[in-house]
Structure 1
Amino acid sequence: MLINNWYVAAKSQQVNREKPLIVRMLGQNFVLYRTPEGEAVCLANTCCHRGGSIGRGELDGAGCIGCGYHGWKFNPQGRCVEIPSLGKDAKIPRRARVDSYPVEEHFDWVWVFLGDLEENDRPRIPATEFPEYHDKENWRVVSMEFDADVNWARGHENSLDSAHPAFVHASFGRRSAPEVQIVPLVPNAFMGHNATRQRVPPKRSQISADIAKLVSEKRGKTTASTDSYLAGISHRIDITREGNIRQVTISARTPVDPYNTRVFAHQARNYLLEEEHDEARREGIRRAYKEDLDVVATVEPKFVPRSMAHQLLVEADQMETAFRKVLIEKVKQGWEIDFDRLQDEGRFRHYSIPSPARRKDPKNWVHPVVPTTFPR
């Protein structure tokens, strides 16, 4: 799991001014809430006092949150501003603080930056890469969120894999046409790549009756444009069929821990725009993801190998290979959490994902930063 990256923590409507929301990412708990002005806040959930869950506490209506154990009150910057047991006039120790993380909202998702990099050094969120989401006149969007008991990187690689549909997806894969078109990969601005390929469309018997009415018996090839983005461990897949019938899916994978992933997805379509067709689209998404997860859950090893030589990658694995290279680069830069060490040492002391405030003021913190597999 990587620090110094953006992750989707929750849907925007799940974060409010009334009740804190506890979410788990990278093996750690975080608390999200909104200030009276509506700004989303994300703090480390473990109190620096005696390890209580801050998210079990209450919001004070002025932008602060009180820990659910002893009522220590923290502001949106993570600074403790009140210790009830010492009285209102007590001097607050400088070490009375928790990490506070940058937050942005895009596509009605709350993105949190879990790391200490300066703003200009952070991976870019692909905020401009899904204009269809905002074009309500010409596109219809369905959304989903679910948990998957697979490793985040394995799941992401599967989404970039153009060879597996022929053997995994009953509704659009064709075993009679498994060849993957080899194309030049185009780097994008989000520490990822694009591959735009043509492929044989699914048989008419494979597609739903409502879509079958929109296409002819003899169809040309389908164009599939796939983009991978580091931020959010996300990707965009743009499928164009005959007659400019398009379907655009963007999804993000948030590591809950090394073995479990939370997936957020939007799918936009420029056909069958009526609400009555939404459930059929959702069912198609659910079916495809289940087919994917059933396969990925059986892959060995459970994690992506740390050497390109440990599996026999071929030319058809272009996008997966490119992602692995980015992943290995970030691991060597000290972005990967040493989860085994964290599990061992974390039995007696809480460790925290570093926030930008630590880079500016590295001293006077109760909780040390999580260990990494390579030095930072």
Structure 2
Amino acid sequence: MVFAHFIVGNTRPYTVQDWAKDIALATSKGIDAFALNVGRDDYEASRVADAYTAASGTNFKLFLSFDMTSLPCSGAGDAYRLRDYITRYATHPSQLRYGAKILASTFGGEYCSFGTGNLNQGWQNAIKSGLPPVHFVPAFFLDPASFSGIPVMDGALNWNSAWPQGNYDTNFGPDNEYISHLGGRSYMAAFSPWFFTHYGPDTYNKNFIFRCDNWHFSRRWEDLVENRDSVAFVEALTWNDFGESHYLGPVHGDLSRSDDWTADYDHQGWLDLLQYYIQAYKTGVYPTVSKDKVFLWSRLAPAAANAPDRIGKPDHWEWTQDFLWVVVLLTAPAEVQVTCGPSVEEMSLPEGVGKLQVPLRQDCSPSVTIFRGGLSTLRFSPDGFNFRTNPRNYNFNAYVASS
């Protein structure tokens, strides 16, 4: 199964109809459920109720992912909110179950004891004792070697497997480390297309990137497809975390003060590529391509460029390269040409998925052309996709387009 992490804290203005639109869109791309990230804000309970209402009568499922960076968990009474959520939706037809058990997850919580002085006992009391059966797959930021001593965990979400944690390409090593220490319990891998956040000290005070070069989107999924027998679930990070630039859904709702780097940066161009890989992960076979399709993304300014931005360059800016990343889905072998200003790349590619890149060295707007038999069968030059060498701010978000 494939889930998308959904930040309920960004849905203050949402209606049931807004939820219904997101659910319909996610369903159409092969996503099975939203993991509802819930925190301490009072309005979130009402938005969760709206989500379950919107999912009623569909095959789409929901489950709770408790954000323990927001929810308190030091005292026994702090468990009440978690237990209330689980009880409230335990019998709802849209509640996701794994086997006969309610699926529940977290973001963080490895420091929680709920008044017991013990991580395992605290979580046992909070979400299992006296409740309907729960299949608990948290994202605890711990050395996976410690998992054998935490039997309350029925599995683990490896949150940071979504991105390389240094200046290197994605690989399956962090996944294997989790799998080896889970002893057969459920492994939930993470996928994310991008990461950039740009908050100053006056707000959330986080300003950094993770490296997502070399077609990270595709390579992460290709690792997951290759190792699908070891991966019970994949959670896409995220549907709507605009502040960290890894949203896959529409830019809608509360943008968490991210307007400076998310306005006009729609990521929905990735969704058809996501659907392609989800089908391959679920079936073990890459789907036949029925229509030629082009996907391209990049930053819109050089990583080393200077800008009049009071927040400053994001940490790790030097980890990323100035390239346009291109993925094509081809119905048959073809010649593919990518241009951006003086940069040109031409390749003969087979049927299926292919990857190209061109360096971005000066102001330019990209174009991709597919040729067969010397004739152009598709030309894609997306509007608004303009690489500029003199940026007005440090925006390391991905600009995404698809044909």
Highest relative contact order (Cα 8 Å, sep 6+), 1 or 2?
1
Check whether TM > 0.5: no
Q: Which has the larger radius of gyration?
A: 1
TM range (shorter): under 0.3
TM-score (norm 1): 0.27
